[in-house]
Chains A and B, each alone.
Chain A
């Protein structure tokens, strides 16, 4: 009885998304899967030819796919931990009862996130220039001028620095997670003799683990799909020695520069499979460390 009730209401609540999925998403998704089995030249859309798994076979041996996957995984290993720890630190700082002028601080720490993309690209290019402020600072502390755009070893640090300006959303989510932790929990922990550090690990982190999990999953997916910033900073190229040839940049070039839409679709679905597996693994581990007060 209760089960049927659940089923009815549940499906009713899901119906907007199911409807939208069928209307706008399912068709294009299936179409792109079909493209991955064809030789589809964007310049000659009338000559679509079914070629079976040839694109998929080519993908597995394509050296650029290997290189771009390596770049992407390297970036993932840089950006995911920093992209979680740094905004969490900021959120703790902005949550602290000792901080004065919180409203202003919260707004200003979020502000870099609001710079429109077109302007941001100009700013970041200028900031990394030989005469730009980053090199001026490095000169000041005696490191000297670094050639940010042509040294392949500096690609990941440069993109990480740029990425730090975009942590505003994560920071706000962590902050609203921290804000939702009932104060009584901290009070009773203090009475039991817990210090701030213990409270943070035993109360704050478990209580906001659903938010941390959300950000973990999305930053992993986001790293796999990382594209825009690298595209803008390296002006559509793969950077020095292809050190900034991200998977998505390679895909974009295949599809929209060389017009191989069929192969580009294969690349997308190849990444889809990989990314789905990683996401499934993350969901699998989440049962051990993500705490839902409302139950699983």
Chain B
């Protein structure tokens, strides 16, 4: 609404050039963003192509999923190779493997044998574009994808609600109230981020073990109801940038602090709250270590990352194409959630505080 009101109408000629310039700027910028995106998405494209490869072709080959070609001539199957003969490269079937020379046949004229000098091992296999779509259903079945998906979703979703709600309340406390010893409390809060989790791991595990929580979802969920230092610090930064005049006015009108949080602070912080919620969701969705630590031996409660890791441990090596297929499937839901939720970022914050 602000945009249209701000555009001054001038003569039609200058309006045209103005629009032309706008279009040019939009085109250039979008092109630039597209090129940048292509480079930026390389890992994802790589993952996608790797998910379509065969079990033997390793990840080293480039972006196109290819398979080594073979041909069947008169009931016999031969491997196809790219053979350089008389300055030209021909695709031929290897009929007889020898060290110093080999015999090839042309699949189109199988009756003539072609003798080639050299070591056949130095030749490259003929490959063709051959995406292995069946990797997806195979990966799905190998790890009971549906069950793990549901578990991951529940853990990520419950945790998201818990951590956003509790962190919002605590961040509000830190950003708006005079509490004795607040700087020290805040230092302790930062301290919990600074001390690496690896060293509190064993004592923490002991605590959960004594509570009888190991082997359940409780270690993954319960602490989130008590606010998380990262989110508290983040939300405090946003709350502190909201001018105080509106909540002070509301307080004069007798609104309780809780009411101010719900009807003034939260509506002005939607982008930050959405971001926090999504970050937690994605973090929990992809977290491997905590579920691995607390849910080992409980396949019914396991999450997707545990399933993904099992491709290399349980299903043997050289299953990277299945890992990639499963991880692409695991990325689809977060992508869709993000696409839908990013509208909240688009929408600017309601500028109540500035309409004085």
Residues facing B in A67-99 (CB within 8 A) are 93-94, 96, 98-99
Inter-chain contacts of A94 with B (CB < 8 A): 33
Q: Contact between B177 and A179 (Cβ–Cβ < 8 Å)?
A: no
Q: Contact between B279 and A169 (Cβ–Cβ < 8 Å)?
A: yes
Return the contact of B240 from the options A136, A210, A217 (Cβ within 8 A).
A210
CB of A279 within 8 Å of the partner chain: yes
CB of A285 within 8 Å of the partner chain: no
Q: Quick one: CB contact mask for B141-183 with A, threshold 8 Å, 1 for yes?
A: 0000000000000000000000000100110111111111010
Residues facing A in B239-285 (CB within 8 A) are 239-244, 257, 271-272, 274-275, 278-279, 282, 285
Inter-chain contacts of B169 with A (CB < 8 A): 13, 16
Q: Contact between B60 and A126 (Cβ–Cβ < 8 Å)?
A: yes
Known: A126-B46, A132-B60, A210-B237. A116 touches B327 (CB 8 A): yes
The residue on A at minimum CB distance from B233 is A214
Return the contact of B177 from the options A13, A269, A271, A279 (Cβ within 8 A).
A13
Inter-chain contacts of B44 with A (CB < 8 A): 111-112, 115
CB of B324 within 8 Å of the partner chain: yes
Q: Contact between B243 and A176 (Cβ–Cβ < 8 Å)?
A: no
Q: Contact between B178 and A225 (Cβ–Cβ < 8 Å)?
A: no
CB of A101 within 8 Å of the partner chain: yes
Q: Contact between B349 and A180 (Cβ–Cβ < 8 Å)?
A: yes
Known: A28-B204, A172-B275. A14 touches B199 (CB 8 A): no
Q: Contact between B177 and A112 (Cβ–Cβ < 8 Å)?
A: no
CB of B29 within 8 Å of the partner chain: yes
Inter-chain contacts of A107 with B (CB < 8 A): 335, 338-339, 342
CB of A160 within 8 Å of the partner chain: no
Q: Quick one: CB contact mask for A13-57 with B, threshold 8 Å, 1 for yes?
A: 110111111011101110110010000001000000000000000
Q: Contact between A16 and B279 (Cβ–Cβ < 8 Å)?
A: no
Q: Contact between B226 and A20 (Cβ–Cβ < 8 Å)?
A: yes
Q: Contact between A225 and B196 (Cβ–Cβ < 8 Å)?
A: yes
CB of B25 within 8 Å of the partner chain: yes
Return the contact of A116 from the options B172, B179, B331, B349 (Cβ within 8 A).
B331
CB of B42 within 8 Å of the partner chain: yes
Inter-chain contacts of A117 with B (CB < 8 A): 286, 288, 305
CB of A149 within 8 Å of the partner chain: no
Q: Contact between A179 and B345 (Cβ–Cβ < 8 Å)?
A: yes
The residue on B at minimum CB distance from A134 is B42
The residue on B at minimum CB distance from A266 is B199
Please report the C-alpha to C-alpha distance between residue A102 and residue B244 in the assembled complex, in whole angstroms: 32
Q: Contact between B180 and A276 (Cβ–Cβ < 8 Å)?
A: no
Please report the C-alpha to C-alpha distance between residue A118 and residue B306 in the assembled complex, in whole angstroms: 9
Q: Contact between A127 and B46 (Cβ–Cβ < 8 Å)?
A: yes
Return the contact of A17 from the options B199, B226, B257, B275 (Cβ within 8 A).
B226
Q: Contact between A10 and B308 (Cβ–Cβ < 8 Å)?
A: no
Return the contact of A114 from the options B223, B243, B282, B326 (Cβ within 8 A).
B282
CB of A287 within 8 Å of the partner chain: no
Inter-chain contacts of A106 with B (CB < 8 A): 342, 345
9-residue interface stretch from A139-147, A181-189, A197-205, A234-242: A181-189
Q: Quick one: CB contact mask for B26-50 with A, threshold 8 Å, 1 for yes?
A: 1001101100110011111011001
With A3-B178, A118-B305 already in contact, 5 other A-B pairs whose C-beta atoms are closer than 8 Å: A11-B179, A118-B312, A126-B60, A179-B345, A293-B241
Which are the 10 A-B pairs with shortest beta-carbon distances? A20-B226, A10-B177, A13-B173, A119-B327, A176-B271, A28-B203, A126-B59, A31-B203, A268-B199, A28-B200
Q: Which B residues lie at the A interface, using CB under 8 A?
A: 2, 6, 22, 25-26, 29-30, 32-33, 36-37, 40-44, 46-47, 50, 59-63, 166, 169-170, 172-180, 182, 185, 187-196, 198-200, 202-204, 207, 222-223, 225-227, 229-230, 232-234, 237-244, 257, 271-272, 274-275, 278-279, 282, 285-286, 288, 304-305, 308-309, 311-312, 320, 323-324, 326-327, 330-331, 334-335, 338-339, 342-343, 345-349, 351, 354
Q: Which A residues lie at the B interface, using CB under 8 A?
A: 3, 6-7, 9-14, 16-21, 23-25, 27-29, 31-32, 35, 42, 93-94, 96, 98-120, 122-127, 129, 131-133, 136, 164-165, 169, 172-173, 175-176, 179-180, 182-184, 187, 207, 210-211, 213-214, 217-218, 221, 224-225, 248, 251-252, 255-256, 261, 264-265, 268-269, 271-272, 275-276, 279-280, 291-296
18 A-B pairs with C-beta separation under 8 A: A6-B177, A11-B173, A17-B227, A24-B207, A42-B202, A98-B22, A99-B29, A102-B346, A117-B305, A123-B47, A123-B59, A172-B279, A179-B271, A182-B354, A221-B194, A252-B198, A292-B240, A296-B240
